[in-house]
Amino acid sequence: MSQPFRLNKEGLINRNKKISFTFNGKKLFGYEGDTIASALIANGIHLVGRSFKYHRPRGFFGAGVEEPNAKLQVEFNGHSEPNVNATEMELVEGLSVTSQNCWPSVNFDVGAINNFLKMFFPAGFYYKTFMWPKSFWYKIYEPFIRKAAGLGVASIEKDKERYEHKFEYCDLLVTGSGPSGLASAYAAAKNGAKVILAEDKPRFGGTLLTDDVSIDNLSGKDWAEKIITELKSMPNVTVKNRSQVFGYYDHNMLVMFERVSDHLEKKSKFTPRQRLWYIRAKETILSTGSIERPIVFGNNDTPGIFLSAAAKEYMKVFGVLVGKKPLIFTNNDSAYETALEFKKNNVEPIILDTREEHSSELIDEAKSKGIDIRFSHGVIVANGYKKVKSAKIGKLNKDKNSFEKIETIECDCICVSGFWTPSVHLASQSGNKLKYEEKIDAFIPDKKKQHETSVGAANGSFTLEESLKNGFENGSNLSVKITETKTEITIPNVNEKKYGAHDKFWCMPLPKNENPKRFVDFQNDVSVSDIEIALREGYRSIEHVKRYTTLGMATDQGRTSNLNGLQLVSNIENKIVPEVGHTTFRPPFTPITIGTIVGREVGMEYMPTRKTPMHEWHEKNNAVFVDAGAWKRPRYYKQGNETLFEASKREAKNVRENVGICDVTTLGKIDIKGPDAAEFLNRVYTNAWMKLPVGKARYGLMLREDGIVMDDGTTTRISENHYHMTTTTAQAANVLSHLEYYLQIVWPELNVNVVSTTEQWAGAAIAGPKSRDMLSKLYTDLDVSNDALPFMGYKEAEFFGVPSRIFRISFSGELAYEINVKSDHGMFMWEKMMEVGKEFGNQPYGTEALSTLRIEMGHVAGPELDGRTIPSDVSLNGLVSKKKDFIGKNSLGREAFNVESRQKIVGLIPIDRKSSIPEGSHIVQDQNAKLPNPKLGHVSSSCWSVENNNPFSLAIMKDGKNMIGKKFFAVSPLKNKSIEVEVISSHYVDPEGKRVRS
Amino acid sequence: MLYIKCPYCGLRAQKEFSYGGDATVKRPNINEEVSSEDWDNFVYMRKSPRGKHIELWQHIAGCRQWIKVQRDTATHEIFQTAKVTEEIR
């Protein structure tokens, strides 16, 4: 149970609570407050994974988001998640952690053979190798690449966790709770601004938790705690830890990923796992800090090699030593703090400093503590395969390109520091073109593009004093513009160590005849030689070098590799870094789960479900539903073991012979009112509307301005200035917007109002030869004779005490009516109809039967009005007025619309009268012709004609009307069918339309 | 996601709006003769400028009013919004 690398007292972990977990099956324990990484290191475990390409042993490198290597497969709460960052995920009881990208085990990995074949895997290997022969691609190369690609294994189980989305607005969003972030948030909060402070880590304070500083005589950590406590008590402040702002979008919209409950052992059923925040901030403070850069040297990816600040964080936050014989390799003063921390914990470090012997506050302190410092020194190559055992170090000559002396010294870890890179990702995403700051060899934000202000280390200022001042001032100035309240704040006194200048040194040279891999990008296995190859092969743009070598393209987005890569390119190219430029930073800053992006919009919540008031009845009566947009419509009502085909045939036949009722609530309904309503309809529809009397309905056709049919439906004149328009279910929303467009923009002088009433009315169609008999029983006091209520007539009457509207309109081609009652009465109406209809053989029918009925009548619907047809294509030119102007009229004169051979609607029947014709089939002259076989048209709608008892289809066919009587083939390669068909009229049943008028 | 100031409702998320194309196009008057060329220009011809563009948006999930928005097509900056009856210069 002992943890050999755990210190006795240091750290912010809770030593009173032990947490057990397993790593590759082995049972281990850590403490509450540990990450997976800190717990494993405490147990002396460094080898945790294998690298992407060469399967080299890899350990931990960082202590947070910068980690490129330690991505593990983690099982918890009954699901398995790949690529979990071990340095970020907190330890909870019962975690099962395993290594990725290795087989059979991380200790013995067969794939490591790639490491010995590395001369065969240079940059661009895949591009070069898998190009030929072409036939190898599907069977050999692709499966091979697929198997090799990726790291962990995605779960195939359904994700049972809950994810949420949240929308929030604030005056100031502060991203990061280091010194500058705390100061900004505090100043703005004191000015009364609505502030959100987001911190990625579980603990607030950033570098204040690890740096040896004091503010107003408090330690950095205590000062941070004091400020956070005060912020939390203020009603205008929201403070969030475990929350990563990962994207900066247009108009100051930022997106934040909150890890709500992954760290909890127990949580309530409704606690989400993670939450996505969409935050619209008036101003944003980017206090994202900086990330330490490595120095590149031989075998610099060996487990046991750390960033020096990470080594310090493991000691100060987790009470964990990354090694007991540390070598500190640095080009600047900040690593001396790590050395001093080791010393404080009775570990003797050796410092290798690439700078020549000189003096600074920190160097002097290290010297006075007796630490072994070797100036002009660096690590050439790390020795040890699965863990660092020793290092070959060299004393550099003055040119820093050759060695005065080389020796090997023992060590069990190397802590490397190549100075600091500001985290400018969010600033760059906001549109800020970055500028290169020579003084720190890195990019910092330039001119603002949005309301963003970078402060502290994210802006390139690396002293605490400057960061605090920067934070307080910006927080105050930005908020005072919004709140117009200013609270004076005294900037606190700061005690910190002064750093000397860093050395512009970033890559260790190699002695002659030595050629170990020197990695620039650990996660994608990109080494110095890969970049050299890319440049030798002629890649010049940094964006091309990036794609060819995959430098910086892994999930860590090159946080530790981008600048070193740039330095390398600019050195070889003999350019300065700003000329080479940088690649684009894209969201998300850190990987986020797919579940969070999707949020609650899964399963039934994927989109709203619209149900008609009669839905429950349909459900109880074995309706099988079909989606019509968001609506659920009965497709057919299943009796016994009926198939779709049998049921729809039965339902359609019953309408033709007796009577049936259909739920038509989903049709779009628009109420149109105003003195100019008639004139408006006259402009919207192709046919004449000025003379429609009150109490009459009319079928209307609507075009787009380009002459293409937009929608059709009936509109009824309810009273002098009041019309009721119906649209197809699918086009309801578009038609309303279309009408509003013309009323608001094109003809504002027309005094007309439109409003959707689709959901206000429940509708049922009664269709069939016995529908009038049934209607007379539904309205016993009403004269429903052909004279009193003729085709296209309209009446208002009470339906068993409930107000209703009766329209004599027909989609089925039979004698038919549509009854509307207020939605609340829909179920009442439906049940009454079922009751009263019994004696007439009434049966409900679904959309499948409805389609059959309209297809064999030759009535067009969505499949024919497909955004490519004009009125004459679908035999509706009789509805196009020659006398008046309307929307789209001018387009109908276009030449292509009027050529003789233009497509027209026709009917098709199979020669054998048996084979049904698949919708979407192409009509061709010769089924065996050489490809490309000229296409003469396509099958738009198909049904089994219940009237004639054989298949029948509608088709849109070139020169259609002149093809009647001729034979063709309807070919569907998708269904592997070719059916010989004869072209007939599209009106297969009752071509004169006698029934609707009967 | 854009943040659009509806002249009737105030600042609202882009989610509530739907895009409606170039706002400077004028439909030829109804019942008036129009040349084929003018008609084609109205129906089909649109500029696709990089930079300032006056366009129509409809506040479909709000007040349902069509509005004018002057937006930079490259940076998405919105300079001005107005009712359709108002001019944007």
Read off the pLDDT of residues A479-503 as tens digits, 9 standing for 90 and up: 999 999 999 999 999 999 999 999 9
Where in chain B are the domains?
A: 3-25+36-83
Contacts of A250 in chain B (CB under 8 A): 1-3, 76
pLDDT of A819 over the 70 cut: yes
**d(Cα B83, Cα A744) in Å, to the nearest integer?**
10
Instruction: For A845-886, write each residue's pLDDT tens digit.
Output: 999 999 999 999 999 999 999 999 999 999 999 999 999 999
Is residue A521 located within the same domain as residue A485?
no
Contact across the interface for B13 and A280, Cβ inside 8 Å = yes
- Taking CB atoms and an 8 Å limit, are A890 and B34 in contact across chains? yes
pLDDT, position A252: 96
d(CA A336, CA A351): 8
Q: Are residues A214 and A271 in the same domain?
A: yes
Does A452 share its domain with A409?
A: no
Evaluate whether A70 touches A51 at the Cβ level (below 8 Å).
Answer: no
Each residue of A162-185: pLDDT tens digit?
999 999 999 999 999 999 999 999
Query: B27 contacts in A (CB within 8 Å)?
Result: 705, 746
Same domain, A64 and A179: no
**A555 or A5: which carries more pLDDT confidence?**
A5
d(CA A375, CA A400): 12
Q: Residue B66 and residue A740: Cβ atoms within 8 Å?
A: yes
| Residue A143 pLDDT exceeds 70 | no
Q: A51-55, A187-191, A670-674 — which is least confidently predicted?
A: A51-55
Residue A548: give its domain's CATH number.
1.10.10.1100
List alpha helices for A801-846, DSSP H: 826-837
Q: Looking at beta carbons, which residues of chain B come within 8 Å of A891?
A: 39, 43
Residue that finishes a domain, picked among A438, A471, A495: A495
Candidates B1, B20, B64; nearest CB to A250: B1
Inter-chain contact B66–A745, Cβ cutoff 8 Å?
Answer: yes
> Cis link prior to A104 (omega < 30° from 0)?
yes
Q: What is the pLDDT of residue A157?
A: 84
Give me the domain span that covers residue A140: 1-156
Q: Is A278 on the interface with B (CB under 8 A)?
A: yes
Pair (A239, A332) in one structural domain: no
Tell whether A165 lies on the interface with B, counting CB pairs under 8 A: no
Statement: residue A139 has pLDDT above 80: no
Closest B-chain CA to A744: B66
List of chain B residues whose C-beta atoms are within 8 Å of the C-beta of residue A898: none
Please say whether the dihedral angle defined by the alpha carbons of residues A31, A37, A40 and A43, taken in this order, is positive or negative. negative
Exposure pattern of A323-333 as b/e (b: 16+ CB <10 Å)? bbbbbbbbbbb
Residues A203 and A312 in one domain: no
| Residue A677 one-letter amino acid | A
* Distance separating alpha carbons of residues A256 and A240, to the nearest angstrom: 10
> A141 and chain B: CB distance < 8 Å anywhere?
no
Identify the pLDDT of residue A912: 97
* For B29, nearest residue in chain A (alpha carbons): A746
Q: Closest to A737 (Cβ–Cβ): which among B28, B44, B58?
A: B58
Residue closest to A808 by CA, chosen among A823, A791, A827, A785: A791
pLDDT class of A768 with cuts at 50, 70, 90? very high
B-chain CB neighbours of A890 within 8 Å are 28, 34, 39
Q: How far is B17 from chain A (nearest CA, A)?
A: 12
Q: pLDDT-based confidence at A583, cuts 50/70/90?
A: confident
Distance CA A42, CA A816 (A): 81
* Smallest Cα distance from A706 to chain B, Å: 6
For chain A, the C-alpha Rg in angstroms (whole number) is 38
To the nearest whole Å, the CA of B15 is away from the closest chain A CA by 12
Tell me the two tokens of residue A379.
């690590």
Give the Cβ contact number of residue A269 at 10 Å. 5
Q: Which of B2, B39, B85 sits opposite A251 (nearest CB)?
A: B2
Dihedral sign of CA atoms A634, A639, A643, A645 in order: negative
Which residues from chain B sit within 8 angstroms of residue A253, using beta carbons? Answer: 1, 3
DSSP secondary structure string for all residues of A372-392:
EEEETEEEEEEE-SSS--EEE
Site from A429, A679, A755, A891 to mutate, B interface, most B CB atoms within 10 angstroms: A891
From the CA of A212, how many Å to the nearest CA of chain B? Answer: 42
| Same domain assignment for residues A464 and A535 | no
A588 upstream amide cis, omega within 30 of 0: yes
Is A582 inside any structural domain? no
Question: Is the pLDDT score of A135 beyond 90?
Answer: no
Q: Which residue of A has its CA nearest to B68?
A: A745
In the predicted structure, residue A785 carries a pLDDT above the cut 60: yes
* pLDDT value for A616: 98
Indicate the residue of B34, B76, B84 with minimum beta-carbon distance to A745: B84
Helix A847-857 with A644-657: angle, nearest 10 deg: 60
A33 part of a folded domain:
yes
- For residue A1, pLDDT over 60 is answered with no
Contacts of B86 in chain A (CB under 8 A): none
The answer to whether residue A920 sits within a structural domain is yes
Q: What CATH number does residue A710 fall under?
A: 3.30.1360.120
- Report the C-alpha gap between A781 and A328 in whole angstroms: 100
Task: Give pLDDT tens digits for B21-68.
Answer: 999 999 999 999 999 999 999 999 999 999 999 999 999 999 999 999
Cβ neighbours of A733 in B, within 8 Å: 60
pLDDT at position A112 over 80: no
pLDDT at A542: 86
Question: Does residue A108 sit in the same domain as residue A9?
Answer: yes
- Phi first, then psi: what are they for A460, rounded to 5°? 90, 5
Among the partner residues A705, A744, A884, nearest to B66 by beta-carbon distance: A744
Q: Say whether pLDDT at A945 is over 70.
A: yes
Facing A253 at nearest CB: one of B3, B43, B85: B3
Of B28, B30, B64, the CB nearest to A683: B30
**pLDDT category of residue A926 using cuts at 50, 70 and 90:** very high
Name which of B2, B27, B66 is nearest A250 (Cβ-Cβ).
Answer: B2
A-interface mutation test, from B12, B45, B55, B66, most A Cβ less than 10 A away: B66
Over chain A, what is the mean pLDDT?
Answer: 94
Is A506 in contact with A571 (CB distance < 8 Å)? Answer: no
Residue A772 has pLDDT above 60, yes or no: yes
Contact A706 B43 (CB under 8 A): yes
A496 C-beta neighbours (distance < 10 Å), count: 17
Domain-located, residue A787: yes
A604, part of any domain: no
Mean pLDDT of A256-284: 94
Residue A584 located in a structural domain: no
Rounded to a whole number of angstroms, the distance from the CA of B33 to the nearest CA of chain A is: 9
Residue ending a domain, among A156, A179, A204, is A156
Chain B contact for A745, CB < 8 A?
A: yes
Q: A151 pLDDT band (50/70/90 cuts)?
A: confident
* A contact residues 206-265, partner B, Cβ 8 Å cutoff: 249-253
Task: Report which of A255, A233, A234, A237 is spatially closest to residue A246, judged by C-alpha positions.
Answer: A255
In this prediction, residue A149 carries a pLDDT of: 55
Are A131 and A174 part of one and the same domain? no
CB spacing of B78 vs A885 below 8 angstroms: no
Number of structural domains (chain A) is 6
Question: From CA B72, how far away is CA A44, in angstroms rounded?
Answer: 57
Rounded CA-CA distance A851/A160 in Å is 40
Q: By mean pLDDT, which of A107-111, A829-833, A834-838 is the weakest?
A: A107-111
Spell out the CATH class of B3-25+36-83: alpha beta
Whether B27 and A253 lie within 8 Å, measured CB to CB: no
Find chain A residues with C-beta within 8 A of B13's C-beta: 167, 280
A253 closest CB neighbour out of B1, B34, B66: B1
pLDDT at A142: 64
- Give the closest-approach CA distance of A757 to chain B in angstroms: 15
pLDDT > 90 in chain A, percent:
85
Q: State the pLDDT confidence band at A116, using cuts at 50, 70 and 90.
A: low
Q: Check CB contact under 8 Å for B30 and A885.
A: yes
What distance in Å separates residue A705's CA from the closest CA in chain B? 7
Average pLDDT of the residues in A363-371:
97
Classify A988 as helix, strand or coil: coil
Nearest to A180 by CA among A471, A469, A458: A471
- Position A134 confidence tier, pLDDT thresholds 50, 70, 90: low
Tell me the residue length of chain B: 89
Distance from CA of B85 to the nearest CA of A (A): 8
pLDDT in tens, A523-536: 989 999 999 999 99
| Nearest residue in A to B28, CA atom | A746
Final residue belonging to a domain, choices A385, A418, A451? A418
Asked if the structure places residue A98 within a domain, the reply is yes
- At residue A571 the predicted structure's pLDDT band, cuts being 50, 70 and 90, is confident
In a domain, A619, yes or no: no
Measured between CA atoms, the residue of chain B closest to residue A249 is: B1
Spell out which residues of chain B touch residue A280, defining contact as CB-CB under 8 Å. Answer: 3, 13
Q: Cα(A952)–Cα(A984) distance, rounded to whole angstroms?
A: 10
Token pair in block for residue A292 = 């330490």
Report how far Cα A563 is from the mean position of its chain's Cα atoms: 29
Closest residue in A to B35 (Cα) is A890
pLDDT band at A722 (very low <50, low <70, confident <90, very high): very high
E strand or H helix at A802:
strand A802-807
Nearest to A744 among B18, B65, B75 (CB): B65
Q: In degrees rounded to 5, what are phi and psi of residue A308?
A: -70, -35
Residue A257 shares a structural domain with residue A365: no
Cα–Cα distance for residue pair A855/A877, rounded to 1 Å: 19
In whole angstroms, give the CA distance from residue A87 to residue A68: 10
Q: SS3 for A628-669, per residue?
A: ECCEEEEEEECCCCCCHHHHHHHHHHHHHHCCEEEECCCCEE
Q: What is the DSSP string of A320-363?
A: B-S-SSEEEEESSSHHHHHHHHHHHTT---EEEESSPS---HHH
Q: For position A823, what pLDDT does the model report? A: 98
- Kindly state the average pLDDT of the residues A246-260: 97
Q: What is the pLDDT of residues A202-236, one digit of tens each?
A: 999 999 999 999 999 999 999 999 999 999 999 99
pLDDT tens profile A304-331:
999 999 999 999 999 999 999 999 999 9
* Mean pLDDT on A966-971: 97
Residue type, A288: T
B3/A252 touch (CB, cutoff 8 Å), yes or no: yes
Please give the C-alpha separations between residue A105 and each of A49, A384, A525, in angstroms, as whole numbers: 9, 19, 20
Q: How far apart are CA A195 and CA A980, in angstroms?
A: 72
- For residue B1, the chain A residues in CB contact (below 8 A) are 249-251, 253, 278
Nearest in space to A92 (alpha carbons), one of A105, A106, A77: A77
Q: Where are the alpha helices (DSSP H) in B1-89?
A: 36-43
Per-residue confidence at A578, pLDDT binned at 50, 70, 90? confident
Token pair in block for residue B70: 């002057």
